[in-house]
Amino acid sequence: MGTGIEESIIRREVDSHSSALTNRSIKDLLDINSRDGYDLLASKPNPTISLRFFSGLIQSYQRVKDLFNPKTVNEKIGNKLIELNNEGYTIILRMRKTGKFKSIDEIEELNRISFFMQNLMITGLQNLNYFFRIGTKEPKGIDEALKIFDRAIWKPKHVLGGGKNDTGKVPSKHEGQPKIST
């Protein structure tokens, strides 16, 4: 019972220009997550920031979860994200029932889960070339295009093999040219 997305994502790359609105909302959530992660690392343990960071990551995950389905390059990452999601929710539900975290260690555990989730999501998105692409420039002109292939296949026969022809002899400068009768 798939979403139909698994088959379309089997290709290695997501066209990041296909939906400006979706990409904008993902970017906005990732920016918020980055800011919250920075705030978390730049302060003493803070339950409010920890909750905000985890919640933002869950919202980001909801937007991109189909990119981590089975049969994609991100299958293992997707499985780990589900596991971390469940671990984080266990901590959150316990905190909601009691109104507080058990200890600073529990806050730090939620932070560890959150940073791990953030790292995995960014890695998974980059696996699909979401952030940047690494490639080669387009060839300009026939000479650059031919450099892509082994240029030896394009050289005249008498140049192959160190300048020897099929007989093993170095061709004369007139070999292969039509004879002119006088």
Q: How far apart are CA 132 and CA 135, in angstroms?
A: 10
Q: pLDDT band for 16, please (50, 70, 90 cuts).
A: very low
Would you state the pLDDT for residue 66? 87
Each residue of 67-104: pLDDT tens digit?
888 788 899 999 999 999 999 999 999 999 999 999 99
Q: What average pLDDT does the segment 159-171 reach?
A: 55
Q: pLDDT band for 176, please (50, 70, 90 cuts).
A: low
Closest C-alpha to 77, from 29, 85, 22, 38: 85
Would you state the pLDDT for residue 171? 57
Would you state the pLDDT for residue 10? 44
Q: Say if residues 43 and 16 touch (Cβ distance below 8 Å).
A: no
Rounded to 5 degrees, φ, ψ at 10 are -55, -30
Each residue of 126-146: pLDDT tens digit?
888 877 666 666 767 777 766
Q: What share of the chain is helix, strand, coil (3-state, %, to 5)?
A: 60, 0, 40
Each residue of 35-75: pLDDT tens digit?
999 999 999 989 999 999 999 999 999 988 888 887 888 99
Residue 168 has pLDDT above 80, yes or no: no
Q: How far apart are CA 78 and CA 117, in angstroms?
A: 10
Q: What average pLDDT does the segment 150-162 reach?
A: 54
Tokens of 37: 């992660």
Structural domains of the chain, with CATH: 17-127 (1.20.120), 140-182 (no CATH)
Q: How far apart are CA 16 and CA 82, in angstroms?
A: 24
pTM: 0.62
Each residue of 109-122: pLDDT tens digit?
999 999 999 999 99
